C-alpha cells in the first residue's frame, strides 16, 4: 500500500498547488490513499466546510488538523458530515470523538490519529505521550495492525522522542506544523518517520505568512491583520510504502516541488 501524505496546506496558494498537482502525483506515485494536513487551509488558520468538501472532491481521503483546528468555528456545525476530518486528540476545544479513523486496506487495518505536541503549543491540554497512550487505549477495540500518527508539534526533539518511545505501536509518525520539510525521513526501528513533512503554500513567505506583514507585526511591533502570503507555492509531502502482508512500513520518500 502506498500512502501519500501532504504537508500543511496553507491558504489559497496551498490549495491551488494541491488542486493542480494532486491528480498527476497520485498517478505518478500510484498512491492508494491520500492524507493531507488541512489545519491552515482557510486563510492560514483552520478549515471551512467549503474547503473540506473541495479537498475531498480532489481525491484527498482524510484531512488531519492541528493547533488551528477550531480557528474557523463554522466547521463545528458540520461535524456530522465531516467524517474524514481528524481533529487533534489533545486539543483544548475537542468535545467529540472525531480524533481518529480506522482505515482498512486488503487484510490490513490501521488507525489514523492526530496529536499535538506540548512545546510552544498553548492549545494542547495533554503531553503527546499521555495523549497517544489514551488514543491507543480507546481505539484498541478495533484491533488495528498499527497506528498512523500526524504529530503536530514544534520541536524536532519532541517528535523524535515520540518515535523512539512508541515505535512498537506507531508504525508511521509524520511531523507537521513547522512548515519546513526536514531531510531525516527514515524507517526507525520499524517506524516510518519524518520530523516535518513541510507545507504546501506560498514559497515567497515566512512559513506561508506574508513577509511584509510578518516583519511589521513581529519586529516593528505594529498592530496588523494576519495575512497569508500569495503567489507561486511549494508542494511538500511524503510517500509511505507499507508491506500489507507484513503490515509494516518498508519505505518513506520525501516529495518537494518548488515553483519554477
- Residue placing its CB nearer to Fe ion in the complex, 12 or 68: 68
- Residue placing its CB nearer to Fe ion in the complex, 117 or 249: 117
In whole angstroms, the minimum distance from the beta carbon of 254 to Fe ion comes to 20
- Residue placing its CB nearer to Fe ion in the complex, 67 or 98: 67
Burial-class residue 7 by CB neighbours within 10 Å (0-12, 13-18, 19+): buried
- Residue placing its CB nearer to Fe ion in the complex, 67 or 124: 67
Answer for the pair 117, 158: CB distance below 8 angstroms, yes or no: yes
Residues in the chain: 260
Residues engaged in binding Fe ion (CB under 5 A): 66-67, 177
Task: Report CA dihedral (12, 15, 18, 21) to the nearest 10 degrees.
Answer: -40
In whole angstroms, the minimum distance from the beta carbon of 187 to Fe ion comes to 26
Catalytic residue among 43, 68, 138, 152: 68
User: Quick check: is 179 catalytic?
Assistant: no
- Residue placing its CB nearer to Fe ion in the complex, 10 or 139: 10
C-alpha cell at 47: 478549515
Answer for the pair 58, 91: CB distance below 8 angstroms, yes or no: no
Chain-centroid distance, C-alpha 21 = 18
In whole angstroms, the minimum distance from the beta carbon of 106 to Fe ion comes to 33
C-alpha cell at 235: 508542494
Secondary structure letter of residue 96 according to DSSP: S
- CA nearest 183: which of 173, 198, 170? 198
In whole angstroms, the minimum distance from the beta carbon of 1 to Fe ion comes to 27
In whole angstroms, the minimum distance from the beta carbon of 208 to Fe ion comes to 10
- CA nearest 18: which of 48, 46, 57, 50? 57
- CA nearest 64: which of 151, 161, 123, 138? 151
Q: Which residues are catalytic?
A: 68
Amino acid at each position: 500500500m502506498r500512502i501519500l501524505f501532504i504537508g500543511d496546506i496553507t491558504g489559497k496558494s496551498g490549495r491551488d498547488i494541491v488542486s493542480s498537482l494532486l491528480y498527476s502525483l497520485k498517478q505518478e506515485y500510484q498512491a492508494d490513499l491520500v492524507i493531507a494536513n488541512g489545519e491552515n487551509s482557510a486563510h492560514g488558520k483552520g478549515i471551512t466546510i467549503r474547503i473540506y468538501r473541495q479537498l475531498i472532491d480532489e481525491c484527498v481521503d482524510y484531512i488531519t488538523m492541528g493547533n488551528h483546528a477550531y480557528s474557523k468555528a463554522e466547521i463545528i456545525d458540520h461535524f456530522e458530515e465531516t467524517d474524514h476530518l481528524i481533529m487533534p486528540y489533545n486539543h483544548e476545544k475537542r468535545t467529540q470523538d472525531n480524533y481518529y479513523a480506522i482505515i482498512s486496506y486488503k487484510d490490513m487495518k490501521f488507525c489514523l490519529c492526530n496529536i499535538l505536541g506540548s512545546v510552544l503549543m498553548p492549545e494542547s491540554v495533554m503531553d503527546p505521550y499521555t495523549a497517544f497512550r489514551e488514543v491507543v487505549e480507546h481505539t484498541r477495540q478495533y484491533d488495528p495492525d498499527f497506528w498512523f500518527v500526524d504529530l503536530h508539534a514544534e520541536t524536532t526533539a519532541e517528535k523524535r522522542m515520540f518515535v523512539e518511545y512508541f515505535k512498537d505501536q506507531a508504525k508511521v509518525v509524520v511531523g507537521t506544523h513547522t512548515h519546513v520539510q526536514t531531510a531525516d525521513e527514515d524507517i526507525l526501528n520499524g517506524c516510518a518517520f519524518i520530523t516535518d513533512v513541510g507545507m504546501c503554500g506560498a514559497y515567497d513567505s515566512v512559513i506561508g505568512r506574508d513577509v511584509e506583514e510578518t516583519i511589521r507585526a513581529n519586529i516593528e511591533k505594529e498592530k496588523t491583520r494576519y495575512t497569508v502570503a500569495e503567489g507561486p507555492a511549494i508542494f511538500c509531502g511524503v510517500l509511505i510504502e507499507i508491506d500489507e502482508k507484513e503490515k509494516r512500513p518498508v519505505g518513506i520518500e520525501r516529495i518537494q516541488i518548488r515553483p519554477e
